[in-house]
A = this chain, B = another copy of it.
Amino acid sequence: MDLNQYAAVYKDNLLKDVIPFWEKFSPDQQYGGYFTCLDRQGKVFDTDKFIWLQARQVWTFSMLYNKVEARTSWLDFAVMGASFLEQYGRDEKGDWFFSLTREGKPLVQPYNIFSDCFAAMAFGQLYKATGEKRYKNIAVHTFDRILQRYNEPKGKYNKTVPGTRPLKGLSLPMILSNLVLDIEHVLSGEQVRNTIDNCVKTVMEEFFHPSTGLVLENVIPGGRMSDSFEGRAVIPGHSLESMWFLMDIAARNEDADLLSKTVGIALNLLNFGWDQEYGGIFYVLDIKGHPPQHLEWDQKLWWVHLEAIVAMLKGYRYTGDKRCMEWFKILHDYAWSRFPDPDYGEWYGYLNRRGETLLPLKGGKWKGCFHVPRCLFQGWKTLEEIIAPENDLQQTTSSHG
């Protein structure tokens, strides 16, 4: 396949398969919001509404409206989810619950700050699509609360004893580094700059582990490795996702040093995380090679492979490093021969180590309308940029495409 053909694969799968799947099977016509627990054929098998997934779907349809085409049906679909979130999603402080019943009654408290991160993304994109001030206010208030909760994201639900082994997680700075660019239009320039600087510094100086060239999932504040289950964990998919967020920041800031570092780290992560025996990227590994505490460590997850594909495409697009293109093709072949379901559409989420389907679901408690469409979009657009470079960050005009 040449790069034009790859680009068409990503675009077609997004617009002709994945998005129609969610449009058809996920709307809850009775109570509003979306069903996300969909079996292989799209049938609803559970009706709980998880804020992460509601918000991520609002974001996806708003983003498509903003970046692909101003289709009214996409905007209406985003607004439907946003209305449900607006009405039922928050507690009295404006923090976002983790989950609701189908009708919107709160089930699980706002212990998980990523509900808030995805809500801020959703309402920020929807504001861009509609100009509706109300949505902007929700995005801004939610973003402010995230910053307020930054150092104690779990609040009173934190079960660790203070002081003994303070650990911070990669997830929050990682998500923030993406969120802040995504909703830049509702934030002040200073807020954007400070957040970006802080995220880049945190990921590159604290979570990056120089002696292995990898990225840790949890570190002692300041950056020392903790020799514990949490401290030894490496989640290659997570770190790869983080690296493409930072590549976008580096490109924006024309920071060639950061670009080259993040591309190098992404390549390290793939070399470390790739399963030499069965192919695919492991979900969780221990940096010292000890048994990880996650029993699902050897599974092959959809988002891990999609985020890795985007990281390699961006790496190639920004630096022209040929190893990125080689890895892209390996990852593409692995993922596309196993995850998409040609019979009923969308992608399987969970494969076992051998790459066989572990769960036949298309959506569940953690898989919704997000990683697949976002990465198909990013893949499509990045391939198009590689084919027809638009700016001088593209350092190669290789013969591809």
Contacts and interface: CB of A to CB of B under 8 A. Distances in A.
Contacts of A332: none
Contacts of A164: 101, 105-107
Contact of A109 (B98, B159, B298, B352): B159
A228 B159 contact: no
Contacts of A165: 101, 107
A296 interface: yes
- Copies of chain A in the complex: 2
A48 interface: yes
A338 B7 CA distance: 47
Q: Is the interface of A mostly helix, strand, loop or mixed?
A: loop
A29 interface: no
B295 A299 contact: yes
A111 interface: yes
A156 B154 CA distance: 13
A232 to B, nearest CB: 8
Interface residues of A, number: 42
A157 interface: yes
A164 B104 CA distance: 10
Interface string A29-49: 000000000010000011010
Interface of A: 39, 45-46, 48, 97-98, 101, 105-109, 111, 156-157, 159-161, 164-165, 227-229, 288, 290-293, 295-299, 350, 352-353, 358-361, 364-365
The 10 nearest A-B residue pairs measured at CB:
A295-B296, A291-B359, A106-B161, A45-B290, A291-B361, A105-B164, A111-B159, A109-B159, A293-B365, A107-B164
Given A98-B159, A105-B161, A106-B161, 4 more contacts: A108-B161, A156-B156, A229-B365, A352-B353
